[in-house]
Every structure is written in structure tokens, then in C-alpha cells.
Amino acid sequence: MSHELSRLLRPGAVGPRGRSEHIEATPEERSALTTRLGLLGLDALSADLDLSLAPGGVIRAKGMLRAKVVQACVVTLEPVPQSVEAAIDWRILPPGEEPAEEIDDGPDEIESEPDGSADLGEALAQDLALALDPYPRAPDAELPPEATSAAASPFDALRGLKRH
């Protein structure tokens, strides 16, 4: 399967001393991710990762995701530019190992392909999706008064029926 942002980590690419990896999305990749994530714009997306070997054939990846996104305000639909920074903590599993059931505070687990490769770009795109503000709001955006009043409630009509 081809992803909008694909950076394959090949088997054996991380030696005993570890490795640093920088990922930066191209304009074409950012455009494709803009569509996938429902953004108005994605002006920058990068990550710096420190990769190291861990017991059991696992590779640990720790670092920082940085992005500049533009989302639509949930009230006015105006563009809301935002900077996103999120810590990355991944366990890249060896081939055939399935992720554990939900781990609340532990690292995210990334499955490897049967050949042992892992797509760091797709993992980064998924982390960006999780780091986005679910309710972006322009600085002075306010709901109109009728939207916050009890009379505007969709349940108001039901209350009226119950009284009759």
C-alpha cells in the first residue's frame, strides 16, 4: 500500500550505535496529507528521530514532530493557522509481532512489514492526525446568541410535546 508520506526504514538500518533520522515532507506529500486530514493547509511537516535497538528485535524511536497547519475554525470556518509540536515515542516491532492491546502511557507500537521494513512516514502522518486540534477556533470567534440559548436546543420541540 502506498501512503502520502512514505519513509521506509529497512531491516538492519539501525546498528548497535543507533541512528538519527530526519523526515521532512515535500510540497507534494504535504498537499496529499492536507486532503487526507481535511486541512486547509499544511505548510511544514518534519520530525527528528533517534533510533536505537531494544530487546526482542524492537527498534525504539524517540523524537519530536513539528508542523505548521491551517484548519477551519469550527465556528466561522475562517482559516486558523497553528503550530503543532508533539513528542514521538514509538516501538517498531519485528516482523510477525502484533501490537499489544491498548497501552495507555506507553510508546505507540508500529508494525513491520513481513520483510522487516517499517514506514516511518506513515507513522508520522498518523501522529500528526492525533496531534491536531479537534476544535480549532479563530481568536475572536463566538457562537451566535441563538445557538447557545435553550430555545435553540433541538430538544425544545420535544419538551413542548411532552407538556401537551
Q: What is the pLDDT of residues 78-135, one digit of tens each?
A: 999 999 999 999 999 998 888 887 666 789 999 999 999 999 999 999 999 999 999 9
Domain boundaries, the chain: 8-163
The pLDDT > 90 percentage for the chain reads 70
User: Structure pTM?
Assistant: 0.82
Burial of residue 157 (number of CB atoms within 10 Å: 0-12, 13-18, 19+): exposed
Number of H helices, E strands in the chain: 4, 7
Determine the distance from the C-alpha atom of residue 35 to the mean position of all C-alpha atoms in its chain, rounded to a whole number.
Answer: 14
DSSP code of residue 114: T
